[in-house]
Structure 1
Amino acid sequence: MKSIIIIAAVALFAADPARSQALVDPNKVAPEYREAAEKRRAEQIRQRECATKADLEKVLPRDRTLYLNHCLEALAAKQ
């Protein structure tokens, strides 16, 4: 039984921590895909901005998706 616990603990510590998706860098993309990369980067920035607002307003996890969708729609309406 001890060996199973030790193996599980080693597996947990050996696993890489989960990281958020990195922002797309349009300069590192082939020229034919640069426009799409710029659009994706703009979308990622809007998503992060809304997530930061949700964190600051301490939105509950159960309400977070609704809040983020509403925030993204509001940002799209402004543009």
Structure 2
Amino acid sequence: MEAHLKLVICIATITLFAAAPARSQTLVDPNKVAPEYREAAEKRRAEQLRQRECALKADLEKVLPRDRTAYLNHCLDALAAKQ
């Protein structure tokens, strides 16, 4: 019984460390898209930068996961109001 438990724990540990880490979405590079899509790519990159800024603020303020979405929405609204 104890040997089986050790085997299960060992397999679980190996599986945990062997799993590929989740990757965040990369920033859009407007210079790497076709010229007709460059304006849209620039807008997308600006939005991604605003989202990252708000996510960083949430991390620095240690916002709880349950409150994170509301915090991010409020932050993005506040940034949009400034512009």
> TM-score scaled to structure 1, two decimals?
0.83
User: Aligned pair 1:19/2:9, yes or no?
Assistant: no
Structure 2: give runs of 5+ residues left out of the alignment. Answer: none
CA distance in 2 between counterparts of 1:49 and 1:21 reads: 14
Query: Structure 1 residues 55, 13: closer, same or farther in 2, change over 3 A?
Result: closer
Query: Runs of 5+ in structure 1 lacking a partner?
Result: none
Deviation at residue 46 of structure 1 after TM alignment = 0.1
Residues in 2 aligned to 1:11 and 1:59: alpha-carbon distance in whole angstroms: 30
* Number of residue-to-residue matches in the alignment: 77
Q: Among residues 58, 62, 65, which one is paired with 1:58 in the alignment?
A: 62
Q: Any residues of structure 2 matched to 1:18-37 within 5 Å, and which?
A: 18-37=22-41
| Larger of the two Rg values belongs to structure | 2
Letter in 2 for 1:38: E
Tell me the CA shift for residue 10 of structure 1: 6.2
1:59-74 correspondence to structure 2 within 5 Å: 59-74=63-78
RMSD after superposition: 1.7
Give me the whole-angstrom Cα distance separating, in 2, the residues matched to 1:35 and 1:16: 34
1:78 alignment counterpart: 82
